[in-house]
């Protein structure tokens, strides 16, 4: 399905300085406390400050996103969603660069459905604090950033990946309405950035699966195969935060207890959806955090958790078909699943690779290159089945 493309709108944006003043006025009072409090939880991440090769780029992103979010605050979408919500392109002209917002009204509605206030979104992504960079173990040439509070994740994409995401966006939103506790990463925005008369760069924004980060001990990126799925672990005591892969997980188990059946069912629902979109090469992100004694078992917040789990569900589906669960009383609850002793952060990410001619040829080449071994480039049907089988084999 191709996304419709009406003529883009171009407007003069508020200056980066205006955005910076507005953002810093709301965050200045907590600036010093924030730096002291978060210093430990940002171990292994790097502030993109003055002197960093990406500092100018991220400053443009921050000023541009502040102005783009201001548009959705000043003109929030009203009424029922329309086809134009998914095809609108708004270009804001800044001094020295342009920032494009793709499908802005659709993403504003999605953020609202998640209970995310535009003011908080703007403050986190605007000029109030430096973005953070981490060393990715991904083989792609994408750049990865985190907002200064580590709540939001930004990643550069190729143009063809952006086209695929936007083409699938209406069905993605519909899937989240049908299955509000889906494991799919929550996409919050798609943008383009052009510096002077240079080539456009595209990037997406999503909720970080690994949030809050304070007590996370291990992180994994799982694809359910073995070729190129090993990362050399960081030395003992190293400050680097590495995301490990499938082969690093050998001999380990995810102990979910009664939550296991929910996870297996949700994996089936989400991967079936991605299979219908002809998508492959996505990952199941996982992280571990040991629960404190007072966090284990059904606590006194059960009623609150039940209400939280029901809130915002506006689907005609029956609860059983939606596969809802009790959400924990924690930030980022949609990506958190508590076992008897461990808290698990789980989410399906990288949803923009379509099984077209390029990937079919890559499949043929890898079949010859790696006989008898499993690799990531397989048909969407096989990919979905294999990842579900991995989860079933590694959970109890």
Long-range contacts of 303-310 (CB under 8 A, 24+ apart): 304/329, 305/329, 308/333, 309/181
- The lowest-confidence range among 32-41, 64-73, 264-273, 275-284 is 32-41
Q: What is the pLDDT of residues 118-157, one digit of tens each?
A: 999 999 999 989 999 977 766 677 889 999 999 999 999 9
pLDDT tops 90 at residue 88? yes
β-sheet bridge partners, residue 254: 395
Which residues, including other chains, have CB under 8 Å from residue 298's CB and lie 6 or more apart? Answer: none
Rounded Cα distance between 61 and 39, Å, is: 23
Q: What is the pLDDT of residues 194-240, one digit of tens each?
A: 998 899 999 999 999 999 988 898 999 999 999 999 999 988 877 77
For the entire predicted model, the pTM comes to 0.87
Rounded Cα distance between 123 and 128, Å, is: 6
Question: Is the distance from CB of 296 to CB of 210 less than 8 angstroms?
Answer: no
**Residues of the chain above pLDDT 90, percent:** 74
Q: Alpha-carbon dihedral of residues 194, 195, 198, 199, nearest 10 degrees?
A: -30
């Amino acid at each position: 399905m191709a996304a419709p493309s009406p003529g883009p709108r171009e407007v003069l944006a508020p200056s980066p300085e205006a955005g910076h003043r507005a953002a810093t006025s709301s965050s200045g009072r907590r600036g010093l406390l924030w730096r002291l409090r978060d210093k430990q939880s940002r171990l292994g991440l790097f502030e993109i400050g003055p002197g960093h090769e990406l500092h100018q780029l991220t400053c443009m992103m921050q000023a541009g996103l502040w102005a783009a979010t201001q548009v959705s605050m000043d003109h929030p979408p009203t009424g029922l969603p329309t086809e134009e919500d998914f095809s609108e392109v708004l270009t804001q002209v800044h001094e020295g660069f342009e920032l494009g917002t793709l499908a802005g009204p659709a993403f504003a509605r999605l953020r609202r459905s998640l209970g995310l206030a535009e003011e908080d979104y703007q403050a986190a992504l605007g000029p109030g604090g430096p973005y953070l960079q981490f060393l990715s173990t991904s083989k792609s040439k994408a750049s990865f950033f985190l907002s200064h509070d580590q709540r939001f994740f930004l990643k550069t994409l190729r143009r063809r990946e952006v086209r695929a995401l936007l083409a699938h966006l209406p069905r993605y939103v519909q899937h989240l309405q049908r299955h509000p506790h889906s494991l799919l990463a929550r996409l919050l925005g798609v943008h383009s950035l052009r510096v002077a008369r240079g080539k456009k760069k595209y990037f997406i924004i999503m909720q970080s699966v690994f949030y809050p980060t304070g007590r996370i001990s291990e992180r994994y990126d799982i694809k359910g195969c073995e070729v190129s799925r090993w990362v050399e672990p960081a030395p003992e005591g190293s400050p680097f935060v590495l995301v490990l892969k499938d082969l690093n997980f050998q001999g380990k188990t995810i102990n979910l207890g009664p939550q296991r059946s929910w996870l297996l069912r949700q994996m089936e629902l989400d991967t079936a959806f991605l299979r219908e979109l002809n998508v492959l090469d996505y990952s199941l992100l996982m992280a571990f955090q040991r629960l404190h004694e007072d966090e284990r078992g059904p606590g006194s917040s059960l009623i609150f958790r039940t209400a939280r789990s029901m809130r915002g569900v506006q689907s005609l589906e029956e609860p059983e078909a939606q596969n809802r669960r009790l959400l924990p009383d924690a930030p980022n609850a949609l990506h958190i699943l508590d076992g008897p002793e461990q808290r698990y952060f789980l989410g399906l990410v990288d949803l923009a690779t379509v099984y077209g001619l390029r990937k079919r040829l890559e499949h043929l080449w890898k079949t010859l290159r790696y006989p008898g071994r499993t690799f990531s480039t397989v048909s969407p049907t096989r990919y979905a089945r294999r990842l579900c089988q991995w989860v079933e084999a590694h959970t109890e």
